[in-house]
Amino acid sequence: MRTLWRTLGAALFSFTVSRRQWMWIVQNIMFSLGVLLLALGWGGPVAVKILVPVYIVISGWGFGLNIIALFVGYDRIFKEWERLVASPLKLVEYFIGLTIGTSPPLLTGILVLVALMVAWGFDLTPTVAVALLVSPIAMVLGAFLSLAIVLRIRNPMNISAITNPLATLTTFLPPVLYPPAVVPEPLRTASVAVPTVALAEVTKFLSLGVSTLPVELCTASIAAWLVVTTIATLKVLKWGLE
């Protein structure tokens, strides 16, 4: 019970801070609507069914990469970390609370997207369910990758200068929101090494049974990235006074 209350306390604290950024909610809603209209306009219902679950997973990736890393980085830089470490709060409770407290923009964008799909008559029950299961893995992977870099930064002005380009680089440049088939070999197979590509392909396979790239390679890529980023993050993320 104490773990629950500590986690909820961390969530409330994070929400109190993040609610001042209400434009994040508006931004996520606009981006969700834009992605939906783009898919519907260029590829029709088929493209929508493929892109929606991928977008949900990539939203989780961006949330971990950008928001979680941003809050943790600022807590470290502005010495909030010492107060948290000195409290009864545990590291796992801190991260779960932080994730819950800062998740409204992410959840709002996904809910609006799903509501629009239902209103337009799309049956997305299996695809959305799979995407929601894969999304936490994407969020953890994105957060660990970003934290491995961000926690080595001392200037707070440099955090978003790292996370924003990193999110753009891993989301829009590789074949994530567009088919890998347009990329020539051997770059197409090599793109499996990019975590977002692997996450997108696994999501499409689990939700729709289709995948351009070998699912085994994609799964191995995700597992390798989880191991590497976890080790790299734990080396710089120490729950103790420094």
Q: Is residue 129 part of a domain?
A: yes
- Encode pLDDT of 67-86 as tens digits: 888 888 887 777 777 777 77
Rounded Cα gap, residues 233 and 229, in angstroms: 6
Q: Is the residue at 242 inside a domain?
A: no
The residue range of the domain holding 153 is 2-236
Half-sphere exposure of 197 (CA within 13 A, CB side): 26
108 lies in a domain? yes
Q: How many domains does the chain have?
A: 1
pLDDT tens for each residue of 2-24: 777 777 776 777 677 666 666 77
Question: pLDDT, tens digit, for every residue of 40-59?
Answer: 777 777 777 788 888 888 88
C-beta neighbour count of 73 within 10 angstroms = 25
Could you tell me if residue 203 is inside a domain? yes
